[in-house]
Structure 1
Amino acid sequence: MRFLKMLGAAAAVALSGLGAATMAQADTIKIAYIDPLSGPFANVGDAGLKHFTYAADMINAKGGAAGMKVEIVPFDNKINPKESLIQLQKAIDQGIHYITQGNGSSVASALIDAIDKHNRRNPGDEVVFLNYAAVDPAFTNDRCSFWHFRFDADADMKMAALTDWLAKQKDIKKAYIIGQDYSFGKAVAKAAVSMIKAKRPDIEIVGNELHPLGKVKDFTPYVQKITASGAQVVITGNWGQDLSLLIKAAADAGQKIPYLTFYGGGLGTPTAMGKAGVGLVKQVSEFNSNIPTSPEQRAVMDDFQKKYGVDYYYLRVFTLMGMFEKAVNEVGSADPAKVAKALEGMTYDTPYGPVSMRADNHQLLQNLYISTFSDKAKYGVEGLPYGFVTDPGGEIPAADTKMATTCKMKRPG
């Protein structure tokens, strides 16, 4: 009898501990960060992780989302789709219902398919994909998913802005397109060709080239081909090491033609181009450090840089986290289906103006800015006396970035 009482007491203690553990787990919302933390793009993945961690700390300092702590859990995918699926399964096995990723549309493509399949097979145990940088237009068109939300402008939206600028440059008659050989690079090239044809049919495309992703160590041969082509402008969607090395090779060769980029302000690229990029390298983005903003936002940017030693760059990460917090607060729980529905059509005030999440295809609409690398910048980047400054008339209002969609959203239930 005594043994049975002791066994019962032990069981009660065990159940109590289990209850405490379950409660602790319920009091934390985990977001899996699946991006490269090793290999040629590790610096980019690490910078993104720092932004997400800081944004989570900001939420937690205010008491969390609906009173729950937000935790970012990193998973290294080595920017490989197959490895990403392994990391996704690890996250799901840990009970994580939210994942974020941004580097590589090939990775995002695999994740979207896997998450859709998981959610169909596991009703009530769904996963939501918060995409902060993978910008293949297909993800919010034919391949749109209720469980996927994109917080960056897609490649077509960005290219529309760049080609609007190009259309006004009457002296430019020859363009060269260069990009990474995967779905995103191909989408950029396709958009560039079609939009140049529509807006400036007199411009000759003298080169349209794709190169291996993350494998080129010296872009000098590519730059030599660009020079030999007589190109007067280069258009590229390159990012990370592939952009830094391309711009460095162009600078070393003394090229004096504009480079129209999506990610000219990305980690390492300003340092790679230095003074040689002044007045020539342009980017289209939702943020640059010289956009006028409040003292409070400036303090956040300064504190982030002081804490991590890298520039505040991903405004969209903070937008994503702020909208996620708002959705959780609205529904009063971390239920993935409810949070996803709350995100649909949501409007949110950022330090740079309001943004909105389209309900029809889950694409964020936000102001975009065309800026140029300048030696007249009040705020430099990467410790340089140069920074990106918005061009005169370079602000594109959020509403003007909206494009037609082919999405036919299938919603659960």
Structure 2
Amino acid sequence: MMKMKRWIAIALLALLAVSAYAQAKPATIKVAVMAPLTGNLANIGEQFRQGVELKAKQVNAAGGIDGKKVELKYFDDKADPKEAANIAQLILGDKDIVAVIGSYTSSVCFAVTPILEKERLSMITPSASNPLLTKGNKVMFKMWTGFDVYAPMIADLAVTELGKKRVAVLYVYNDWGIGVKDYFVARAKKLGATMVAEEVLYDGDKDFKTQLTRIKSRNPDVLAIMTYYAEGAIIAQQAKALGINVQLVGSGTFVEDQFLDMAKEYAEGMYVVNEFVSDDPRATVQEFVKAFKAEFNGALPGNYQGNAYDALGAILHAYKQSGSSRAAVNDGLQNLVGYRGMAGEISFKGQEIAKPQVFVQLKNGRWTFFKESPILK
């Protein structure tokens, strides 16, 4: 009798241990989303949210990953590096979080990287493009192609695709603007173009007539604008007013509704290199656009929704392929090759994204697909 009681006790203890283990294991796959959710850049955070929630909803509707549903936990970093550093500590303390999506700016990403690296907690930014973000660490991944890649593509677009030979550039004086300009100029010269003007502007400037007058005197056949959308729209207006009727090219910073509202017909015919455009005929893009419109009352997605969608997809793919720990997810992302995302086949090379880019043209007041950008040689 005593022997039987002992066996019953052992069996009960075993059941309790199994139950405790089951309770200790996370019931969901928890991913943090760090973005500006309030303030002037709250619209960016909202676009991140739309992208990740669509992907999470699709995965959960299909049964999750190995039976586990995706759980998203949001953190408002206000695009402030100090705020973001505090949030990163909170995220690190939640041991159920396996990866992070965010943030919007390179400065925020730089601030949180050393904190996340303490536990190999991976972070994929849908938007930041500074090439230095992925240097000297193993945790920061970029879903937005770096300007060391897309700036030379803009030069190829202008010189090779459009046949322009006399190139002027007007750029914003900050880390991003200088970097884009330098890579663009180097590639344009390599392709045989002549740089006839390199003019600079500063954040907050609204009058560019002095720079544009000097550019006009150099007789360019193409003007590359390396600024954000507000300055770019004003430049397009002032260039036309000064009689500068040359081809305009630029980066994906102009693929925003606000740019179209401000630039109106003055930027008609402009070409840019971009991550994504909703009329891209590729099947993966159209599947995403159809699902997005159905989920968000017919709205069309943009760059940030698409990149956030693919960022979560890449994390979940790494989780399924490599394991549920933070280190395992990091290993999976480090070795990600050929994941089929919205943007086509996606791979990480040294934490830098490798995926197709597209040439986009402003035609009849809307951004339209021109062609897929070739891989540079």
TM-score range, shorter-chain basis? 0.7 to 0.9
**Counterpart residue number, 2:59:** 59
Q: Is the 8 A contact 2:158 2:249 kept in 1?
A: no
Deviation at 1:171, TM superposition (A): 4.8
**Counterpart residue number, 1:101:** 102
**Counterpart residue number, 1:222:** 208
- Cα gap change, 1:401 to 1:395, in 2 (>3 Å): same
Matched, 1:388 2:377: no
Q: For residues 165 and 220 of structure 1, what CA distance do their matches in structure 2 show?
A: 27
Cα deviation, 1:305-357, whole Å, max 9, x if unaligned, reads 417x56344333222222222222223x4211112212214221235532222
Matched, 1:173 2:166: yes
**Counterpart residue number, 1:23:** 23
Give the structure with higher Rg (CA).
Answer: 2
- Cα gap change, 1:334 to 1:237, in 2 (>3 Å): farther
Deviation at 1:151, TM superposition (A): 1.9
Deviation at 1:48, TM superposition (A): 1.8
- Cα gap change, 1:357 to 1:37, in 2 (>3 Å): same
Deviation at 1:188, TM superposition (A): 1.5
- Give the partner amino acid of 2:279: N
Q: Is the 8 A contact 1:248 1:273 kept in 2?
A: yes
Deviation at 1:254, TM superposition (A): 5.8
Matched, 1:263 2:249: no
Matched, 1:372 2:366: no
Cα deviation, 1:224-244, whole Å, max 9, x if unaligned, reads 533443265443454xxx41x
TM-score w.r.t. structure 2 length? Answer: 0.81
Q: For residues 74 and 232 of structure 1, what CA distance do their matches in structure 2 show?
A: 47
Which secondary structure does the structure 2 equivalent of 1:167 belong to?
helix
Which secondary structure does the structure 2 equivalent of 1:221 belong to?
coil
Q: For residues 305 and 312 of structure 1, what CA distance do their matches in structure 2 show?
A: 13
Deviation at 1:26, TM superposition (A): 0.6
- Cα gap change, 1:20 to 1:37, in 2 (>3 Å): farther
**Counterpart residue number, 2:141:** 149
Greater shift, 22-31 or 195-204, is seen at 22-31
Q: For residues 37 and 94 of structure 2, what CA distance do their matches in structure 1 show?
A: 20
Q: For residues 205 and 66 of structure 1, what CA distance do their matches in structure 2 show?
A: 57
Deviation at 1:72, TM superposition (A): 2.3
Q: Is the 8 A contact 1:60 1:70 kept in 2?
A: yes
Cα deviation, 1:167-223, whole Å, max 9, x if unaligned, reads 235555241231362x333321321232233234522233134x33xxx2xx43135
- Give the partner amino acid of 2:111: A
List runs of 5+ in structure 1 lacking aligned partners. Answer: 1-15, 120-125, 376-385, 403-413
TM-score w.r.t. structure 1 length? Answer: 0.74
Q: For residues 52 and 300 of structure 1, what CA distance do their matches in structure 2 show?
A: 13
**Counterpart residue number, 2:317:** 326
Matched, 1:284 2:298: no
Greater shift, 166-175 or 97-106, is seen at 166-175
- Cα gap change, 1:278 to 1:352, in 2 (>3 Å): same
**Counterpart residue number, 2:12:** none
Which secondary structure does the structure 1 equivalent of 2:171 belong to?
strand
**Counterpart residue number, 1:11:** none
- Give the partner amino acid of 2:49: L
- Give the partner amino acid of 2:307: R
**Counterpart residue number, 1:379:** none
Cα deviation, 1:7-34, whole Å, max 9, x if unaligned, reads xxxxxxxxx9xx8998387112222222
Q: Which of 125, 136, 140 is matched with 1:131 structurally?
A: 125
List runs of 5+ in structure 2 lacking aligned partners. Answer: 1-15
RMSD: 2.9
Q: Is the 8 A contact 1:104 1:184 kept in 2?
A: no
**Counterpart residue number, 1:87:** 87
Q: For residues 186 and 67 of structure 1, what CA distance do their matches in structure 2 show?
A: 48
Matched, 1:185 2:177: yes
Q: Is the 8 A contact 1:100 1:131 kept in 2?
A: yes
- Cα gap change, 1:296 to 1:371, in 2 (>3 Å): closer
Equivalent residues, number: 346
Cα deviation, 1:337-380, whole Å, max 9, x if unaligned, reads 1122122142212355322222xx122211111111112xxxxx
- Cα gap change, 1:173 to 1:341, in 2 (>3 Å): same
Q: Is the 8 A contact 1:81 1:107 kept in 2?
A: yes
**Counterpart residue number, 2:5:** none
**Counterpart residue number, 1:302:** 293
Q: Is the 8 A contact 2:269 2:362 kept in 1?
A: yes
Q: Is the 8 A contact 1:365 1:401 kept in 2?
A: no
**Counterpart residue number, 2:70:** 70
- Cα gap change, 1:162 to 1:328, in 2 (>3 Å): same
- Cα gap change, 1:137 to 1:223, in 2 (>3 Å): farther
Cα deviation, 1:22-61, whole Å, max 9, x if unaligned, reads 8387112222222222333221222122212222222211
Give the helix-richer structure, 1 or 2: 2
Q: Is the 8 A contact 1:75 1:87 kept in 2?
A: yes
Structure 1 segment 182-221 matched on structure 2, within 5 A: 183-209=175-201, 211-212=202-203, 216=204, 219-221=205-207
- Give the partner amino acid of 2:65: A
Q: For residues 27 and 237 of structure 1, what CA distance do their matches in structure 2 show?
A: 46
Q: Which of 243, 248, 257 is matched with 2:233 structurally?
A: 248
Give identity over the alignment, percent. 19
